[in-house]
A and B are shown apart, each in its own frame.
Chain A
């Protein structure tokens, strides 16, 4: 059972939502099955972009897919 790796970067610790499901926190490596996902963050909604649509594949523990959210002041 191969796993893929994803990190959602954000200046603060925030919930990472995968397809609307709480799946972990920002700046930590998440393990998921390969496939298409919608990645967004939990409240408050002070981040950009609103979401990432990713096709998670060909990653490794040392080279995860990284998506970066920026904080909107």
Chain B
């Protein structure tokens, strides 16, 4: 007969063997019916009384770990302290922010503001910026209780990180809370490792996945956006059959035709088509910085064919402000002053960052082009712009934008 002690050991051993099979990442929910007027998309978000469409402000928060989170936090403080007057009403520039596109470290600040608003200025520093999150993650990693879970092929370090973010930073919030809060529209960017393309946590992408975003944890989206390669593992999503009644976005059908292959929207259509191909049953996401380290591409898409474009054409947007918060550090070029060729680690660092930096530069150039083709600087006022009206049948009257003074 087995003693009680032996039985306990047997049960514990059995549990240790079976537990790995139980540990599984949180799976995104399937969507049964498509509804273009619901879910987390720009058009479904309410505006606060202080937010006007006429002044449309988009922020872009770059990657760069806690440094990026801290820099974007500082910018939010400045925006909060900057008083402007729009249509005769005095308000904070922060109240006019309509969208925030973020990557990696910047996603913590963006998501926190999207969820908790003014609390950002009260407790974000203590809960995230000044906290040793890396140490807390390492603590979990070295906890033997988690070893069994980590042995599962369906549960990895990123899922543990997401649990930590969920409990300690984001209070288990889901995207429905972001939706309830209204503008700004927070776009958390990640990278789809399968096709090396950008992925953003918006209902438009989840529509193509046949999935609902509103019930998904914000913490997991932030974890995907900030899943630094090697240290962390990818976040996985399931790609379901399309929900009943699904319609592709208005620009998609003509953009995916081979005749459009020279256009930017062809690339956007190819991106979406990855998820419409249901042979791709799983999507594995990592750090958004791998595909766009400043979060500019989703804003460029919105400007090209998305919610910014439609509002410009509908005449709702009179003034467009795009603010890029780039936490990139650049030290003085010492390599070119030294005869000795750079060492292994310098070359490794350059290999990892040069392409990314050039892509970021290209993104910012595109943003500048987008603005300057519409506007020309007015010499008498530093940041005021004079724009041409977009009416051809009316007398050419000039729209003058109010000067905005931003202390930075």
* Contact count A vs B, C-beta below 8 Å: 72
Q: Is A51 part of the contact surface with B, judged by Cβ < 8 Å?
A: no
A64→B251 CA distance, assembly (Å): 20
Cβ-defined contact, A30 with B313, below 8 A: yes
Question: Which single member of A1, A20, A28, A37 contacts B304 (CB below 8 Å)?
Answer: A1
A43→B99 CA distance, assembly (Å): 32
Q: Is A7 part of the contact surface with B, judged by Cβ < 8 Å?
A: yes
Q: Is A40 part of the contact surface with B, judged by Cβ < 8 Å?
A: no
Task: Scan A7-38; emit 1 where CB is below 8 A from any B CB, else 0.
Answer: 10000000000111111110111111111111
Give the distance to chain A from B9, nearest Cβ to Cβ, in Å.
66
Cβ-defined contact, A19 with B254, below 8 A: yes
Cβ-defined contact, A33 with B263, below 8 A: yes
A37→B390 CA distance, assembly (Å): 20
Give the distance to chain A from B253, nearest Cβ to Cβ, in Å.
7
Cβ-defined contact, A35 with B393, below 8 A: no
Q: Is A61 part of the contact surface with B, judged by Cβ < 8 Å?
A: yes
Count contacts on A: residues with CB < 8 A to the other chain: 26
Cβ-defined contact, A36 with B370, below 8 A: no
A29→B388 CA distance, assembly (Å): 11
Give the distance to chain A from B251, nearest Cβ to Cβ, in Å.
6
Given contacts A19-B253, A21-B250, contact A1 B390 (CB under 8 A): no
Cβ-defined contact, B314 with A33, below 8 A: no
CB nearest neighbor in A for B312: A31
CB nearest neighbor in B for A34: B263
Question: Which single member of A1, A20, A29 contacts B366 (CB below 8 Å)?
Answer: A1
Cβ-defined contact, A7 with B392, below 8 A: yes
Q: Is B91 part of the contact surface with A, judged by Cβ < 8 Å?
A: no
Q: Is B46 part of the contact surface with A, judged by Cβ < 8 Å?
A: no
Q: A1-B300, A1-B373, A64-B392 are in contact. List 8 more A-B contacts (CB 8 A).
A: A18-B250, A19-B250, A27-B391, A30-B390, A32-B305, A34-B263, A36-B257, A38-B254
Can you spell out 22 A-B residue pairs with CB atoms less than 8 angstroms apart? Answer: A1-B304, A1-B373, A19-B250, A21-B310, A22-B314, A23-B310, A25-B314, A25-B315, A27-B392, A28-B390, A28-B391, A28-B392, A31-B312, A31-B313, A32-B313, A33-B251, A33-B263, A34-B263, A35-B255, A35-B263, A36-B257, A36-B259
| B residues apposed to A, CB below 8 Å | 250-251, 253-255, 257, 259-260, 263-265, 300, 303-305, 309-310, 312-315, 366, 369-370, 373, 388, 390-393
